[in-house]
């Protein structure tokens, strides 16, 4: 057991994936609560943008994309005299980096040939465990067993103003109820719903007076072009127009987000927006947004979950999902939020 009194400076090595960074927030808060006198540093690709409003973190560090930058960061961290590194990624590289950084104790899951680099190598669960639970379980050597809670993110007021300005540029008026449709996801095209069905969903929602905005990074432009081919009018698109630090604020402006299993789905859920998540090749037991406000739509064939980036057959896991059931899930969440708004506070 590692005594809390021996920990003056703690590094939380977050994953380099957007959604996994969001799912790491409960770990950061558990460490903050258990170690009020220690400095808490967080490191990861998405950390500076996603955690910029997190008050319990003393320093936010972006993980460099190049080896020279990583080596320089390891030297900087060595001078900082880290007492503990909690490693959420399961990679060899993350354990090696923590060792080079001189962290006295290094907690992580065994595997990927890295056990010798860890001071505490934990065995992963034998069965399916949600990623939030798996991350929190790494705190056992500190004597901590925090319950799995839904991640949440704080949003800066100036980011909300920036997001509203961007939505106004694509024709969203104050008071409009906006449904976002996320285009694209990490892993590959196997996660994606057919473009024709995305177009049909958008048209159906627009017909009932709901503003639909398409979201995604610049790489989603070809998907948007395919969707627009099935729309009667040009799409409201913010593809490639936001930036990482604004993403939580932009998603917080939505009434509902429709998304594949993706990082933005977790960001939206964490800022309190209901998510209709479409799952195909991945397993919602591991990575679905947590909470009863969200809907997971999944029609798994025997080959799912396969976790393949590209379907080798006919993509039946995603084509089995119909426009009607997704639209119904969206409408149910829109109506539920209206009902919530009618209930007087207190």
Q: What is the CATH number of the domain that holds 16?
A: 3.40.50.2000
Least confident window among 13-22, 306-315, 331-340 = 331-340
Asked if residue 123 and residue 263 are part of one domain, the reply reads: no
Residue 206 is predicted with a pLDDT of 95
| Residue 148 forms part of a structural domain | no
| Residue 147 forms part of a structural domain | no
Asked if residue 183 and residue 138 are part of one domain, the reply reads: no
Asked if residue 296 and residue 172 are part of one domain, the reply reads: yes
What mean pLDDT is predicted for residues 30-44? Answer: 97
Residue 63 is predicted with a pLDDT of 96
Please count the structural domains in the chain: 2
Asked if residue 207 and residue 120 are part of one domain, the reply reads: no
Which of 142, 170, 202 terminates a domain? The answer is: 142
Asked if residue 303 and residue 204 are part of one domain, the reply reads: yes
Domain range for 135: 4-142
Asked if residue 133 and residue 164 are part of one domain, the reply reads: no
**Residue 144: pLDDT band with limits 50, 70, 90:** very high
pLDDT tens for residues 210-264?
A: 999 999 999 999 999 999 999 988 999 999 999 999 999 999 999 999 999 999 9
**Residue 126: pLDDT band with limits 50, 70, 90:** confident
Asked if residue 69 and residue 23 are part of one domain, the reply reads: yes
Q: Dump the DSSP string for 248-275.
A: HHHHHT-SEEEEESSHHHHHHHHTT--E
Cα first-last separation, the chain = 45
Which of 113, 142, 171 terminates a domain? The answer is: 142
**Greatest extent of the chain over all pairs of C-alpha atoms, in Å:** 64
Which of 108, 142, 176 terminates a domain? The answer is: 142
The answer to whether 151 touches 132, Cβ cutoff 8 Å, is: yes
Asked if residue 128 and residue 20 are part of one domain, the reply reads: yes
Other beta carbons within 10 Å of 151:
26
More confident residue, 185 or 294: 294
| Residue 122 forms part of a structural domain | yes
Q: Round to whole Å and give the CA distance between 261 and 293.
A: 16
What mean pLDDT is predicted for residues 162-187? Answer: 94
Q: What is the DSSP letter of 69?
A: H
Asked if residue 166 and residue 130 are part of one domain, the reply reads: no
Asked if residue 23 and residue 127 are part of one domain, the reply reads: yes
| Residue 171 forms part of a structural domain | yes
158, burial (CB in 10 Å: exposed 0-12, middle 13-18, buried 19+):
exposed
| Residue 185 forms part of a structural domain | yes
pLDDT above 80 for 145 = yes
- Give pTM, 2 decimals: 0.95
């Amino acid at each position: 057991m590692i005594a809390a009194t021996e920990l003056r400076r703690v590094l939380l090595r977050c994953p380099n994936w957007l959604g996994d960074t969001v799912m790491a927030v409960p770990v950061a808060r558990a460490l903050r609560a258990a170690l009020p006198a220690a400095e808490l540093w967080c490191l990861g690709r998405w950390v500076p943008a996603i955690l910029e409003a997190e008050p319990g973190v003393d320093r936010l560090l972006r993980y460099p994309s190049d080896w020279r930058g990583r080596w320089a960061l390891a030297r900087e961290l060595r001078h900082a005299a880290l007492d503990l590194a909690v490693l959420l990624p399961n990679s060899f590289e993350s354990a090696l980096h923590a060792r080079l950084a001189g962290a006295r104790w290094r907690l992580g899951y065994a595997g990927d040939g890295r056990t010798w680099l860890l001071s505490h190598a934990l065995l992963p669960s034998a069965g399916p465990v949600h990623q939030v639970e798996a991350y929190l379980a790494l705190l056992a050597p500190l004597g901590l067993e925090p319950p799995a809670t839904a991640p949440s993110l704080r949003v800066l007021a100036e980011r909300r103003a920036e997001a509203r300005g961007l939505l106004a540029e694509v024709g969203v008026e104050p008071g409009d109820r906006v449904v976002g449709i996320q285009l694209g996801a990490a892993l590959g095209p196997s996660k994606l719903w057919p473009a024709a069905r995305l177009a049909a969903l958008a048209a159906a929602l627009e017909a009932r007076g709901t503003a639909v905005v398409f979201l995604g990074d610049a790489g989603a432009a070809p998907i948007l072009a395919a969707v627009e081919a099935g729309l009667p009018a040009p799409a409201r698109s913010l593809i490639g127009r936001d930036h990482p630090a604004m993403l939580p604020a932009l998603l917080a402006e939505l009434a509902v987000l429709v998304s594949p299993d993706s990082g933005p789905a977790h960001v939206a859920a964490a800022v309190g927006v209901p998510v209709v998540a479409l799952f195909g090749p991945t397993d919602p037991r591991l990575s679905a947004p947590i909470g009863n406000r969200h809907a997971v739509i999944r029609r798994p064939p025997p080959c799912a979950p396969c976790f393949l980036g590209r379907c080798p057959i006919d993509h039946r896991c995603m084509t089995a999902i119909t426009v009607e059931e997704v639209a119904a899930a969206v409408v149910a969440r829109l109506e539920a939020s209206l009902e919530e708004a009618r209930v007087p506070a207190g």
